Amino acid sequence: MASVGAGKKLLAEAKSFGLGMRDYLNLAIDVRGSEEADKRYRDDRGYLSGYEASLAFLNLPIQNDFERGIVLEAASDTFQTFPGVRAIFPEVVDDVVRWKFRQDNLETTNALVGSSRTMSGVELISTVVDDKAEDYQVVSAVAELGRFPVKTIRLSEQSVKFYKHGGGYRFSYEFDRRASIETLVPYVNRMDREKEMSKVRAATHILINGDGVNPAAPLVKQADFVAGATNKKLNYEALLRWFVARAQAGIPVDTVVGNWDAYIDWLLMFAIPTSNNNRTDAENLAASGFQIGGVPILKGTVNFALSSAAPNKQLIGISRGDTLEELNEGGSQIEETERAITNQSITFTKSVNTGYKLAFSDTRSIYDYDSTDD
C-alpha cells in the first residue's frame, strides 16, 4: 500500500503541471552535486537525466545486457513487487519497444501537419483577418511612409475539439506473473499503428470539413481543367493545371492527401508507354529520372500522404507548412496509468489527446476526378 500511495502521489504531481511522467521526472529530479551521484548516475556522456536516474534507482532496465548482468526480467519483477512503480510503466514499455523493434507507420500525421506542440489548457481557434486593400499600397515595393499590408490574428470564441486516441491490453494475473516485459513488443507495435491511424482520421476530417471557424475546403472537378478527361482516372495535364492554378493564387500545393485507391491511381498515372522494346515500362520510367512519390513542379515536388479516411477518387491538396496544427494535451494518460497502479492485474494503455486547428482558411483544395459525383 505504501508503494501504491507513492505512485498515486507522483502521478498527481505530474498531472498538476500538465506533464507526462517522462517530462515531469526530467524536470523534477537533478542528480548532480553528490558523491553518490558521481558513482551511480554518471557515465561517459555525463550525468543521467531525471528519468534515466529514476530507471536506474528502481532497477528498471529497458534492454538485455548479459555481459553486465542486466536482464529485462528485473523490470518485470519490479513492476510485480512494487505496484506504485507502474506510474512509469508506459514509458518503460515504450523504451523497450524502441530498443527492440519499432515499425514504420504508413499512415502518420507527420505527413499532414505543419507543426505540433504540447499544451495543458483550453486552446481557442484563431482566425486571420486581412487589411482592406485600400488601407495600404498594392505595389511591388512599399513607398516611403507607405503602409505594409498587415494581417490580424484574432482568437475566436470556439475552442479546439480534442479527440482521444489509443487502446490497451489487460493482462491476467498468470500472464503478468510469468511473462517478460519483452512479450509486449508486438502488441504495443500494433496499438501504436492503430493509434496513429485514428489521429490521421481526425486530421483528415478537419482538412476536409474545417475546424468550426475556418470553412470546409473548396472542391474542383478534373473536367474543369481538361474537358473530356477520362472519368475516375487521374489526368496528368489536369492535375498539373490544378497545381499551377493553386501556385498562381499564391498558395502552392506541396502535399496531396488520398486513400489507398487514390495512391494506386497516383502511381499508375506515371506509367510510360513502352517506346523501346528492349526496356520495360518500369525501366523507361527509371530512365526518365522521375522518382515515384512526387510530381515535379518547377524545382519543387508534390508529395503523397496516405489517409484511409480520404474520400474515394479525390485528392486533398494542401500547403503543409501553413495549414494544419496539431495540439497534444500534456499528461493525457495519467488517469489510465493511475488505474493500473490500483488493480491487481496490469491494464496497459497508451493514449493521447490531440486536437487540430487550421492556420489559414485558403490553403486547402479538393481535386475530384470522378465526374459522376453529385
Q: Contact 186/369 with Cβ under 8 angstroms?
A: no
The verdict on 310 and 370 lying in the same domain is yes
Does 150 have pLDDT greater than 50? yes
Using alpha carbons, list the distances in angstroms from residue 304 to 43, 60, 99, 155, 156. 44, 41, 30, 32, 32
Buried b (16+ CB within 10 A) or exposed e, 111-135: bbbbeeeeeeeebebbbeeeeeeee
pLDDT of residue 176: 63
The verdict on 29 and 146 lying in the same domain is no
The verdict on 131 and 204 lying in the same domain is no
What pLDDT digit, counting tens, does each position of 332-342 carry?
Answer: 767 667 766 76
Neighbours of 314 (CB within 10 A): 20
Neighbours of 292 (CB within 10 A): 10
pLDDT of residue 40: 75
- CA proximity to 356, closest of 315, 304, 300, 318: 318
The verdict on 169 and 317 lying in the same domain is yes
Last residue of a domain, one of 159, 175, 206: 159
The verdict on 191 and 143 lying in the same domain is no
Instruction: For residue 369, name the pLDDT band (cuts at 50, 70, 90).
Output: very high
The verdict on 262 and 366 lying in the same domain is yes
Non-local CB neighbours of 11 within 8 Å, separated by 6+ positions = 21, 87, 334, 337, 338, 341
Question: Average pLDDT, stretch 267-282?
Answer: 59
- CA proximity to 223, closest of 367, 28, 357: 367
Does 293 have pLDDT greater than 50? no
What pLDDT digit, counting tens, does each position of 168-209 carry?
Answer: 777 766 666 666 677 777 888 888 888 999 999 999 999 999
pLDDT of residue 292: 44
Q: Dihedral of the CA atoms 74, 77, 82, 84 (nearest 10)?
A: 70
Q: Dihedral of the CA atoms 103, 105, 109, 111 (nearest 10)?
A: 110
pLDDT of residue 228: 85
pLDDT of residue 367: 96
Mean pLDDT score across all residues of the chain: 79
Reported for 69-76, long-range contacts at CB under 8 A and 24+ positions apart, including other chains, are 72/96, 72/180, 72/181, 72/182, 73/180, 75/181, 76/179, 76/180, 76/181
Question: Average pLDDT, stretch 270-282?
Answer: 55
d(CA 211, CA 355): 10
Does 298 have pLDDT greater than 60? no
User: 310 or 44, which is more confident?
Assistant: 310
Percent of the chain with pLDDT over 70: 75
Instruction: For residue 112, name the pLDDT band (cuts at 50, 70, 90).
Output: very high
- In this structure, the chain runs to a length of 374
Q: Contact 282/74 with Cβ under 8 angstroms?
A: no
Type of residue found at 18: G
Does 146 have pLDDT greater than 60? yes
Question: Average pLDDT, stretch 244-260?
Answer: 91
Does 162 have pLDDT greater than 60? yes
pLDDT of residue 137: 47
Three-state DSSP state, 221: strand
Percent of the chain with pLDDT over 90: 20
Domain with 131 in it: 124-159
Tally of domains in the chain: 3
The verdict on 54 and 181 lying in the same domain is no
Does 242 have pLDDT greater than 80? yes
User: 314 or 191, which is more confident?
Assistant: 314
Output the CA torsion sign for 42, 44, 50, 53. negative
Q: What's the CA angle centered on 228, arms 225 and 232, to 5 degrees?
A: 85
pLDDT of residue 136: 45
Tell me which of 21-25, 69-73, 159-163, 226-230 is least confident. Answer: 69-73
Tell me which of 131-135, 245-249, 320-324, 363-367 is least confident. Answer: 131-135
The verdict on 263 and 196 lying in the same domain is yes
Last residue of a domain, one of 115, 137, 159: 159
DSSP alpha helix (H) spans, the chain:
2-16, 21-28, 35-40, 50-57, 73-81, 89-100, 173-178, 185-209, 236-248, 260-268, 281-287, 334-342
The verdict on 145 and 182 lying in the same domain is no
Non-local CB neighbours of 177 within 8 Å, separated by 6+ positions = 80
The verdict on 55 and 142 lying in the same domain is no
The verdict on 285 and 363 lying in the same domain is yes
Does 294 have pLDDT greater than 60? no
